[in-house]
Copies of this chain bind each other. A is one copy, B any other.
Amino acid sequence: MTEPVHLSIKPVALDTLNESVVLLARDCPALRPERLRGSRKVVLKCGAKTLIATILIADDPQLVGCHEVGVTEPAFRRLGARAGVRATIAPAPPAESLDAVRAKVRGETLDKRQLASVVSDLTNHRLSDIEVSAFVVACASFMTDQEVIDLTEAMAAAGTRLRWGADRVVDKHSIGGIPGNRTTMIVAPIVAAHGLTMPKTSSRAITSPAGTADTMEVLAKVDLTEAEMRSVVDECHACIAWGGHVNLSPADDLIIAIERPLQIDTPEQMVASILSKKIAAGVNHLVLDLPVGPTAKIRSAAHAQRVRKLFEHVAGRLGLFIDVMITNGREPIGRGVGPVLEARDVMAVLRNAPDAPRDLRDKSLRLAGRVLDFDPALRGGAGEARAAELLGSGAALKAMEHIQAAQGPPPRVSALGARVKEATAARDGFVTGIDCFRIARIARLAGAPTDPGAGLDLLKRLGDPVRQGEPLYRLHAEDPADFAMAAEALEEAHGFSISLDEAP
């Protein structure tokens, strides 16, 4: 074999987001570009570190000389190199799991070892977007229960695996899709006040107007390292943190990035996604909220039962105790939609304010009750009464204030968006439908969650009587362009159905 040509590493101030990208001069002697026909993946070796990257060809010696390799921002960080250090480059061999991906695309069933190899290559960025997309789409068309179990286990094992001092580590999770529904921020303080361990990590919104992490960030810092998170949980029994620093089931994030634009939401992938994250987080007792409604993620009771069974089967086989609650997903929960408005609702419930949204309070108590029922010290079925007691007495509010103080102050002060517009009823009647999807979309156009103060404040709920011209909700935005776009969408279709007959 010939000697590999050494190149000098040159940092290039380009942020290529998830992708590792390197720049090579067209006349670089280390790699004949023809060799890469059909593949742009290379292996960059620098000392003991190896990185798979995509190449771009540079035609400007100012950018990259022919004895240099330009390394862009995420790749430079991943490589942990310094400028001027020597590196070698070679065409990347195909990922080892590519045969397993191809087999799945052909409709075959994969075994535990094959699924683990796909997850490992995925986590190490050895598969291209095309290959990951093919795997995800093939899995969406057919997976056995055993494949779901094996995939979940491999995903949970692929990143950080948290362990906690307590025997019983509890959590509550909702599959999402319902605007508002910020029950976690009420359940966690109740559970903490009771004394169970609930190390809650949440996501930021991807397609919704607010994730729990976005809403909690109105009240406290959420951007915690693993060590900070541990110290909050030690001190308060619970935390409400953003999961982004903890690297729990990183394969899940990469799969979700593919599923989202394709709107893939199969039970199998929902189960693998949620349970792999919970297992990696060290949770062993989970209450799962499955909202069902005409514009929710799950639209029929029959479908909900199928999803429930799969969650129970897979969780059981992986040693996670799960309690699945099928809930009302026919309308948003609480009044606010968007971080600032949702945080307001949460604090109103915790403070036992007379005007606190009743549906948010009731649902949170039911969920918290089911979590507390995991405590062997409580009599069966006593959880909900205990939860009501902890909320009513102010113990839950104290626990929340404790968690806020331990996590630290929010990175900035958020206020409600000052540009306001109301959606009004076109005629007298009753509210017979609220389109969760449309409500979420308008709130997002208004700027949520990027602008935490943007969103919708719901003034009417399902079944409420309305008079012509009466406001249904109030839109808030800060940015003028966002306000214009959201207002236009609101005019086009505000998402409320009004009918002369009383709601069903």
Bound: A130/B136 CA distance, A? 10
Q: Does A60 contact B (CB under 8 A)?
A: yes
Chain B residues closer than 8 Å to A134, beta-carbon distance: 133-134, 136-137, 258, 262
Stretch at the interface among A30-38, A226-234, A453-461: A30-38
Bound: A107/B262 CA distance, A? 13
- In the bound complex, do residue A35 and residue B207 qualify as a contact, i.e. CB atoms below 8 Å apart? no
Q: Does A16 contact B (CB under 8 A)?
A: yes
Chain B residues closer than 8 Å to A105, beta-carbon distance: 137, 140-141, 262, 264
Knowing A17-B40, A137-B105, A450-B35, say if A2 contacts B480 (CB, 8 Å): yes
Chain B residues closer than 8 Å to A21, beta-carbon distance: 56
Q: Does A39 contact B (CB under 8 A)?
A: yes
Query: Which A residues between 38 and 84 are near B, CB-CB below 8 angstroms?
Result: 38-40, 56-60, 63, 72-73
CB proximity of A137 to chain B, nearest CB, Å? 4
Query: Which A residues between 86 and 141 are near B, CB-CB below 8 angstroms?
Result: 94, 98, 101-102, 105, 107, 128-134, 136-138, 140-141
Write the A370-381 contact mask toward B (1 if CB under 8 angstroms, else 0): 000000000000
User: Number of contacting residues on A, CB 8 A?
Assistant: 58
Q: Does A14 contact B (CB under 8 A)?
A: yes
- In the bound complex, do residue B262 and residue A484 qualify as a contact, i.e. CB atoms below 8 Å apart? no
Bound: A130/B37 CA distance, A? 20
The 3 A-B pairs of least Cβ separation, nearest first, read A13-B60, A133-B133, A15-B57
Write the A1-42 contact mask toward B (1 if CB under 8 angstroms, else 0): 110000000001111110001010010000010110111100
Chain B residues closer than 8 Å to A34, beta-carbon distance: 450
Q: Does A175 contact B (CB under 8 A)?
A: no
- In the bound complex, do residue B15 and residue A26 qualify as a contact, i.e. CB atoms below 8 Å apart? yes
8 A-B contact pairs sorted by A residue (CB < 8 Å): A14-B59, A14-B60, A35-B450, A59-B73, A105-B264, A131-B262, A134-B137, A137-B138
CB proximity of A124 to chain B, nearest CB, Å? 17
CB proximity of A429 to chain B, nearest CB, Å? 32
Give the nearest-CB partner of A34 in chain B.
B450
Contact with A15, one of B16, B56, B130, B131 (Cβ below 8 angstroms): B56
Bound: A393/B424 CA distance, A? 89
Bound: A262/B129 CA distance, A? 12
Q: Does A261 contact B (CB under 8 A)?
A: yes
Chain B residues closer than 8 Å to A303, beta-carbon distance: none
Contact with A481, one of B2, B26, B72, B136 (Cβ below 8 angstroms): B2
Chain B residues closer than 8 Å to A263, beta-carbon distance: 102
Contact with A130, one of B13, B32, B38, B133 (Cβ below 8 angstroms): B133
Bound: A54/B102 CA distance, A? 27
Q: Does A85 contact B (CB under 8 A)?
A: no
CB proximity of A126 to chain B, nearest CB, Å? 13
Give the nearest-CB partner of A26 in chain B.
B15
CB proximity of A141 to chain B, nearest CB, Å? 5
Q: Does A206 contact B (CB under 8 A)?
A: yes
- In the bound complex, do residue B102 and residue A58 qualify as a contact, i.e. CB atoms below 8 Å apart? no
Q: Does A260 contact B (CB under 8 A)?
A: yes
Contact with A129, one of B133, B260, B480 (Cβ below 8 angstroms): B133
A2, A94, A134: residue with the most chain B Cβ atoms closer than 10 Å = A134
- In the bound complex, do residue A13 and residue B59 qualify as a contact, i.e. CB atoms below 8 Å apart? yes
Bound: A481/B128 CA distance, A? 27
Give the nearest-CB partner of A61 in chain B.
B13
Bound: A257/B73 CA distance, A? 28
Chain B residues closer than 8 Å to A2, beta-carbon distance: 480-481, 484
Give the nearest-CB partner of A266 in chain B.
B106
Contact with A38, one of B39, B136, B260 (Cβ below 8 angstroms): B260
Bound: A17/B21 CA distance, A? 13
**What would 4 more interface pairs be, CB under 8 Å, given A14-B59, A21-B56, A56-B72?**
A1-B485, A38-B261, A102-B263, A105-B264
- In the bound complex, do residue A57 and residue B14 qualify as a contact, i.e. CB atoms below 8 Å apart? yes
Knowing A56-B16, A57-B15, A206-B38, say if A262 contacts B141 (CB, 8 Å): no
Bound: A261/B14 CA distance, A? 28
Contact with A58, one of B14, B32, B132 (Cβ below 8 angstroms): B14
CB proximity of A490 to chain B, nearest CB, Å? 15
- In the bound complex, do residue B26 and residue A261 qualify as a contact, i.e. CB atoms below 8 Å apart? no
A12, A13, A35, A263: residue with the most chain B Cβ atoms closer than 10 Å = A13
CB proximity of A221 to chain B, nearest CB, Å? 19
